[in-house]
């Protein structure tokens, strides 16, 4: 497993023979600008990043059970940039759900399960520490808290955007590379560390989200080849567990984007991806196709997507894109044909202040229901509203 991770990093480093470079990172509702060249040198600042949310999932109960997420995340931290190429950040990452005062004390990957004998009070709180170096314009190396979530630019069946508000910040190592011909993001997220004779496995996941630019990504018409993969590994050598498991989700395809010279129509984007899931212990491996058409109109993003899968077990994607029910353990849902329209609103009022809202639907025209196979699943939907405020207070210049 460690050799696979090293291979990801080495392949990324080999792609540094570029003529010109450009950094495509920027801040949005769920993403961050990681380009150190745009930030002041020799400054100490206090960042009080907050995202407040109210998200509601209404489902029929066969794919997954519905629930509501009311609360906020707050991430106070000190940011010190001693030079043009180095940044240090330290603080805390805190999660609060309204109406809840006790939080299970373990790594959150999705909606956590209650543990009565191991919990925190007030907030789910973990430390935040990031050291970042940008030795050349094209490359950023990050250790500690990663630029995770939507920063990875994974397609929705591989990564559920809801994890931006529920999952713990990713921690480990990350290599980011931006140039005229490629955007490369390679990372290792270490979830559970083990000591000698521990009674549980070490748990980590690593991933690669690459986009090979066939044309200039800043031109009015661009074409990319996206290559994406997430690997989750349970293993280790010094613990007392004998079980080892590795599961892979991957996707590849084409993505084309048209930016018309219009005040109201910002972009038209089409993506076609072939996806798959691989589990050596499973009898059958998953296969899927994901196609999406997106139009950026004013501050709205209107998307219509089609997902078709068979035997697909997703690691970080929403359960509605999988072929195994999370509501009825072990119940297979195959094949899965999903029509997925979504309308998302996002507006940046000024740097560090974002407002967002969305309505997303999931329609399955022909999937046998759990309670009565003669019936079919029909209509599931989710709604959400978000406010992100990220002020920075300069303490020392």
Task: Return the ∠ at Cα 47 (arms to 209 and 168), rounded to 5°.
Answer: 45
Which pLDDT value is given to residue 120?
A: 74
Confidence category of residue 261, pLDDT binned at 50, 70, 90: confident
Mean pLDDT of 50-75: 87
Alpha-carbon distance values, 1 to 186, 199, 392 (Å): 15, 20, 39
Percent of the chain with pLDDT over 70: 81
Q: Which residues share a beta bridge with 229?
A: 208, 250
Calculate the dihedral angle through the C-alpha atoms of 48, 111, 187, 225, rounding to the nearest 10 degrees: -110
The predicted pLDDT at position 14 comes to: 42
172, pLDDT greater than 90: yes
Q: Tell me the C-alpha distance between 341 and 305, whole Å.
A: 6
**pLDDT at 20 (0 to 100):** 38
What is the sign of the dihedral through the CA atoms of 152, 153, 154 and 159?
positive
**Residue 365 confidence (pLDDT):** 77
Number of other residues whose CB lies within 10 A of the CB of residue 54: 16
- Mean pLDDT lowest for which of 72-86, 178-192, 311-325, 345-359? 311-325
The stretch 258-264 carries a mean pLDDT of 87
Across the range 234-259, mean pLDDT stands at: 80
Q: How confident is the model at residue 117 (pLDDT cuts 50, 70, 90)?
A: low
Query: Does the pLDDT of residue 267 top 50, yes or no?
Result: yes
Assign 115 a pLDDT band (cuts: 50, 70, 90).
low
CA 76 – CA 107 distance, rounded (Å): 20
Share of the chain above pLDDT 90, in %: 50
Range list of H helices, the chain? 2-13, 163-166
Token pair, residue 99, equals: 């109406």
Q: What is the pLDDT of residue 239?
A: 57
Query: Which is more confident, 216 or 365?
Result: 216
- Flag the least confident range among 98-102, 186-190, 226-230, 275-279: 98-102
Which residues are registered as beta bridge partners of 274? 252, 289
350 Cβ contact partners less than 8 Å away, ≥ 6 residues apart: none
Q: The CATH number of 2-396 is which of 2.40.160, 3.40.50, 2.60.40, 1.10.3470?
A: 2.40.160
Provide the 8-state DSSP code for 368. B
Q: Are 126 and 93 in contact (CB under 8 A)?
A: yes
From first CA to last CA, the distance across the chain in angstroms is: 44
pLDDT of residue 370: 53
Q: Looking at residues 294-315, what average pLDDT do you find?
A: 92
For residue 5, what pLDDT is reported?
46
pLDDT digit string, tens, across residues 350-384: 888 999 999 999 888 766 555 555 555 567 889 99
Segment 88-106, tens digit of pLDDT: 999 999 999 998 888 776 6
DSSP for 124-187, written as a single string: EEEEEEEEEEEEETTEEEEEEE---GGGG---TTTB-TTHHHHSPPPEEEEEEEE-SSEEEEEE
Find out whether the peptide bond into 36 is cis, omega within 30 degrees of 0: no
Please return the burial class of 4, using the count of CB atoms within 10 Å of its CB with bins 0-12, 13-18 and 19+. Answer: middle
Q: What average pLDDT does range 199-228 have in this prediction?
A: 89
d(CA 263, CA 236): 55
pTM of the model: 0.85
* Torsions phi, psi for 166 (to 5 deg): -110, -30
Average pLDDT, rounded, for the chain: 84
pLDDT of 121-155, one tens digit each?
788 899 999 999 999 989 999 999 999 999 999 99
DSSP 8-class letter at 114: P
195 phi-psi bin (left φ>0, alpha ψ -120 to 50, beta other) = beta
């Amino acid at each position: 497993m460690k050799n696979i991770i090293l291979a990801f990093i080495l392949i990324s480093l080999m792609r540094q023979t570029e003529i010109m470079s450009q950094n495509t990172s920027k801040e949005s509702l769920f993403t961050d600008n990681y380009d150190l060249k745009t930030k002041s040198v020799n400054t100490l600042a206090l960042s009080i990043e907050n995202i407040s949310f109210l998200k509601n999932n209404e489902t029929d109960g066969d794919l997954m059970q519905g629930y509501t997420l009311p609360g906020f995340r707050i991430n106070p931290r000190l940011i010190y940039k001693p030079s043009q190429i180095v940044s240090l950040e330290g603080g805390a990452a805190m999660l609060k759900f309204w109406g809840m005062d006790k939080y299970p004390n373990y790594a959150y990957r999705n909606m956590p399960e209650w543990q009565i004998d191991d919990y925190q009070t007030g907030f789910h709180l973990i430390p935040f520490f990031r050291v970042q170096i940008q030795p050349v314009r094209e490359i950023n190396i990050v250790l500690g808290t990663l630029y995770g979530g939507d920063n990875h630019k994974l397609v929705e069946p591989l990564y559920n955007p809801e994890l931006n508000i529920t999952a713990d910040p990713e921690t480990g190592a990350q290599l980011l590379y931006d140039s005229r011909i490629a955007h490369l993001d390679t990372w290792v997220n270490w979830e559970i560390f083990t000591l000698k004779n521990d009674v549980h496995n070490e748990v980590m996941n690593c991933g690669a989200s690459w986009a090979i630019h066939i044309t200039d990504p800043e031109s009015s018409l661009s074409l990319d080849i996206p290559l994406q993969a997430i690997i989750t590994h349970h293993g280790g050598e010094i613990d007392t567990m004998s079980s080892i498991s590795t599961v892979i989700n991957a996707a590849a395809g084409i993505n084309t984007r048209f930016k018309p010279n219009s005040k109201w129509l910002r972009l038209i984007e089409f993506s076609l991806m072939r996806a798959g899931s691989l589990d050596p212990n499973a009898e059958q491996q998953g296969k899927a196709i994901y196609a999406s058409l997106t139009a950026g109109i004013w501050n709205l993003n209107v998307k219509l997507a089609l997902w078709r899968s068979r035997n697909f077990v997703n690691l970080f994607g929403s359960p509605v894109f999988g072929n195994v029910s999370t509501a009825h353990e072990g119940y297979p849902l195959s094949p899965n044909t999903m029509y997925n329209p979504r309308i998302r609103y996002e507006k940046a009022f000024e740097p560090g202040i974002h407002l967002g809202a969305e309505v997303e639907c999931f329609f399955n025209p022909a999937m046998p229901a759990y309670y009565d196979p003669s019936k079919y699943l029909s209509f599931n939907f989710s709604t959400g509203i978000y406010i992100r405020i990220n002020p920075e207070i300069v303490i020392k210049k």
